[in-house]
Amino acid sequence: MKKLLLSIIALCLVGGLMAQNAPMQKISKKDAAKIAVTHPQILKGTEYTAVPRNTTSMLGNGNFVGGTYYDLQTNGSMAPRTVAYPDGTFSIVWTTSEEGAPTTRGTGYNYFNGTSWINSPTNTSKIENVRTGWPTLAALGNGEIFASHNGSDALVIGVRPQKGTGDWIMTNLYGPAATLVDSTNNTTSTSTCLLWPQMAVNGNTIHLIACTESDAGYLYQGIQTCLVYIRGTFGGTDNTISWEAPRVVGNVTPAQIGQFSGDSYSITANGDYVAILVADSWNDVFMWKSSDNGVTFTKTTIVDSPIPDGYNEATTEILDTPYVADGACAIALTATGNAHVAFGLTRVLNDALGDGSYSYFPGVDGLLYWNESMPAITATRNTLDPDSLILAGYTVFVKEDMDGDDTVWFMDGGNWPKYGLGSISMPQLLVDGNNVYIVYTQTLDYPFVDINSSSYYRGVFGKKSLDGGTTWSTGTSWLSYNKDCFYIDNWTDYTMQTYQDMLWVDGENMFPSITPKVVNGKIGMTWQWDYFAGCEIKENNVSVAGQPSSIYFMQLDANDLGVYNAITDVYNGLCIDSTSIVDNTLTDMALYPNPANNKVTVALSSMEAANATLSIYNLMGQCVYAEPINVMEGNNFISVNISNLNAGVYVVNVKTAQGTSTQKLIVK
């Protein structure tokens, strides 16, 4: 068990939140970027035992492929955990644990053989025979390789020659000796521990990064929790790996970086190109790139941080709350070695030297995209303010307006989940020719709130660029949106209790991991879903009970990113079933009268004559009325008898093969 490096306290930027009984506050998108709420958080780079989550078996927008009673999948950036093969098969890994037994934590695994997943989704068993966590996965020849950390002295490396079948060949990879000098007792101790690995593979060459011992005072090359790169060569005949000596990522010195944080980095490889991105809150954001398969590297500083080099919490006071990276990042390479980068944004404060804590701002709104055609950034206090970046010509993805009213809604007294991230973060990047695909998590608006803790849910979203990152799709895919939630476009008239069950169906969606390549025109993605927002934790390895969180998988046509489940379609009611409608032929729907008691007239316009279905749903998403109808090209008026419906709020939907339209109905 790794000890706590620093405790984080979220700072309240906006004072005087209203009483919790008030339902919500309406904040402009610009102002919403500046909100942060007092709340304890998890430091990236801290390993804990997580409290399990309740779940169900088949809810969610994807296939339920795995379970876990340990729901903290990363401290920041997601390691590569999803692999697609040309034959239409997939391998995935995640951190798993059995019920009430966190000591059973290890690497969960499943494999799609082209027809079905080989393991039961309720299976929480692990690959290893020791306690591990934080797995990373890659294809290796005809087989596959994973790495995980045992948290004590080494990484566990597993190789098997044939993907999806056969025994794993397990070995340990020990790190360089990090040294702790106790001058008081005149003793020296060492640790070979490696933590939080990430991995990419070129042919038979394995590129691996991981941190050295994180316990306070253990230094490697004078750096606390030092990030190192280790290159390995796989011998296909004897299934062994020859590992080279570790190198400090970026060849940084203690004067430049005093300490790394776990998972604040990302690695990728394409052909002979290898690139490592480091986006720690307290250091420069930099890339370390090789064009000769990891033999030599060149460092590029992307953001010259406003935090002084060699930051030390005990001696470096930070009072002006500068904008910085939030520690969750991604990097991808083209076939010619051009790098594409993304990382979340936050703000930090250190106003009490030496107390082992600092403050950050989880409400900061912005995910910066950068590629090598763009200039580097020399950051002052406000340079990484999303508004400033946008004015300077950079691409910044900001929190989406969820219901089309150009505002972001937050509940008074609402809490930000304990993830140590900005409001929009945890990116995944994929480059395919001139196409760039990005997936990320975003804090959702009110009322997408876990009412148990008044904490905002997160969802998984995605966009694409067809011109190398110059412009991006107008639409944004809400990839994790569960259509059983049946989104309502005006939540202000109702209480949270009204929507409890429906909102729980959508739940918390976190930790996305996408395939590093587009295969057969498709992108594979895994993520974690559960009912409850955030990741509550227990120290001291306390046994826990409950039902597991769910690991979901979905396969998406690459061209549909930015189109499938587009946010505008969701709040306009175009995602009522399992397929999103892109070219909608139904418009201008209205209900007369509304409210109504015995009859209601449905008015709408259609671009074509077609067979249709008129359905009425209650707020639990249950169909209470349905009839087949015919619509003609032009204006339509359909009379519906609603005398059998109880008083309440309903949703009326008309759907053809090429369109769908929805409106809210109040029955008196």
What pLDDT digit, counting tens, does each position of 166-222 carry?
A: 999 999 999 999 999 887 888 899 999 999 999 999 999 999 999 999 998 999 999
Type of residue numbered 481:
Y
End-to-end CA distance of the chain: 59
Bridge partners of 211?
A: 195, 227
Q: What is the mean pLDDT of residues 277-288?
A: 96
Q: What's the Cα-to-Cα distance from 316 to each of 220, 297, 351, 504, rounded to whole Å?
A: 21, 31, 9, 43
Q: What's the Cα-to-Cα distance from 105 to each of 47, 144, 148, 150, rounded to whole Å?
A: 12, 21, 11, 10
Residue 498 CA to residue 391 CA, distance in Å, equals 42
Q: Which residue has the higher pLDDT, 51 or 119?
A: 119
Cβ neighbours of residue 629 closer than 8 Å, sequence gap 6 or more: 611, 612, 613, 614, 638, 654
For domain 586-667, the question of CATH label 3.40.140.10 is answered with no
Domain with CATH 2.120.10.10 in the chain: 7-571
Using the predicted structure, report yes or no on whether residue 142 has a pLDDT greater than 80.
yes
For 221-240, write each residue's pLDDT tens digit.
999 999 999 999 999 888 99
Question: How many Å is the maximal CA-CA distance in the chain?
Answer: 90
Helix (H, G, I), strand (E, B) or coil at 30: helix
- Write down how long the chain is: 668
- The DSSP output letter for 559 is G
Evaluate the omega torsion of the peptide bond into residue 447 and state whether it is cis, within 30 degrees of 0: yes
Phi, psi of 84 (to 5 degrees): -110, 140
DSSP E strands: which ranges in 483-546? 508-514, 522-530, 537-538
Phi, psi of 393 (to 5 degrees): 95, 5
Residue 22 CA to residue 595 CA, distance in Å, equals 26
Q: Which residue has the higher pLDDT, 588 or 114?
A: 114
The candidate with the shortest Cα–Cα distance to 483, out of 427, 366, 417, 564, is 564
- The DSSP output letter for 558 is G
For 248-273, write each residue's pLDDT tens digit.
999 999 999 999 999 999 999 999 99
Helix (H, G, I), strand (E, B) or coil at 327: strand
The pTM of this model reads 0.82
The pair of three-digit structure tokens given for residue 464, joined into one six-digit string: 């694409």
Q: What share of the chain is helix, strand, coil (3-state, %, to 5)?
A: 5, 45, 50
Evaluate the omega torsion of the peptide bond into residue 254 and state whether it is cis, within 30 degrees of 0: no
Q: What does DSSP say about strands 247-248 and 227-235: parallel, antiparallel, or unpaired?
A: antiparallel
Q: What is the mean pLDDT of residues 347-375?
A: 88
Using the predicted structure, report yes or no on whether residue 537 has a pLDDT greater than 70.
no
CATH of domain 7-571: 2.120.10.10
Bridge partners of 521?
A: none
Helix (H, G, I), strand (E, B) or coil at 183: coil
Q: Read off the pLDDT band of 540 (50, 70, 90).
A: very low
Domain with CATH 2.60.40.2550 in the chain: 586-667
Using the predicted structure, report yes or no on whether residue 542 has a pLDDT greater than 90.
no
